[in-house]
Copies of this chain bind each other. A is one copy, B any other.
């Protein structure tokens, strides 16, 4: 249950975000949202037309936050390699998975253009931003030369998303870390060992 400092709509959105992350769209019931938000049924249906509208607000909110957070790391200081490494190695709640990527497994989300849009846009933005950095890095930024920016960026984003899958399967974050380590080694040029990161 959330702090009384938040407005009821805010609490409903936060609760929905949590539940969508953990249980997905199908697994998230209005009842559970109301319970977690500390709001009554009438209250929920007063502020939102129903589950889809509430889910849309929650997904947008989660997507915006993820994007800001990733941008913070990717826009930071350092060489291209260092910024990609910082992104790959940043603190994550690995076993919870990606709150945005997770939604792609939900048929009710992918089937609904409006619900899928924030998910698509976020991952698309991430790939684009990574591609820019790879493009910078192939000109002396600590990355292996000759890499295709788009393809390399997709591999980076995929490794993160897939790392979550491997980690959740085994019940341990280790597989995620191992995959990231493998990718970082592949990204570094031959002549120099992958920098400590």
A residues sitting closer than 8 Å to B (CB atoms) are 22-24, 26-27, 97-98, 101-102, 104-108, 110, 116, 119-120, 123-124, 127, 144, 146-148, 150-166, 168-171, 175-176, 178-183, 185-187, 189-190
B161 x A166 contact (CB < 8 A):
yes
B110 x A182 contact (CB < 8 A):
no
Q: What distance in Å separates the Cβ of A192 from its nearest Cβ neighbour in chain B?
A: 12
Who on chain B is nearest to A23 by CB? B107
A150 CB contacts on chain B under 8 angstroms: 178, 182
Who on chain B is nearest to A174 by CB? B154
Contact among B24, B98, B151 with A179 in the assembled complex (CB-CB below 8 Å): B151
B105 x A166 contact (CB < 8 A):
no
A168 CB contacts on chain B under 8 angstroms: 104-105, 110
What's the Cα separation between A124 and B168 when bound, in Å? 12
Contact among B24, B119, B152 with A186 in the assembled complex (CB-CB below 8 Å): B152
A166 x B148 contact (CB < 8 A):
no
A158-B179, A185-B151 are contacts. A101–B163 as well, Cβ < 8 Å?
A: no
A22 CB contacts on chain B under 8 angstroms: 107
A26-B24, A26-B27, A158-B159 are contacts. A151–B165 as well, Cβ < 8 Å?
A: no
Who on chain B is nearest to A167 by CB? B104
Contact among B24, B110, B123 with A166 in the assembled complex (CB-CB below 8 Å): B123
A24-B24, A26-B24, A162-B158 are contacts. A182–B152 as well, Cβ < 8 Å?
A: yes
Contact among B104, B110, B144, B162 with A157 in the assembled complex (CB-CB below 8 Å): B162
Q: What distance in Å separates the Cβ of A81 from its nearest Cβ neighbour in chain B?
A: 13
A-B contact pairs, 5 of them (CB 8 A): A144-B190, A151-B179, A152-B182, A153-B182, A158-B183
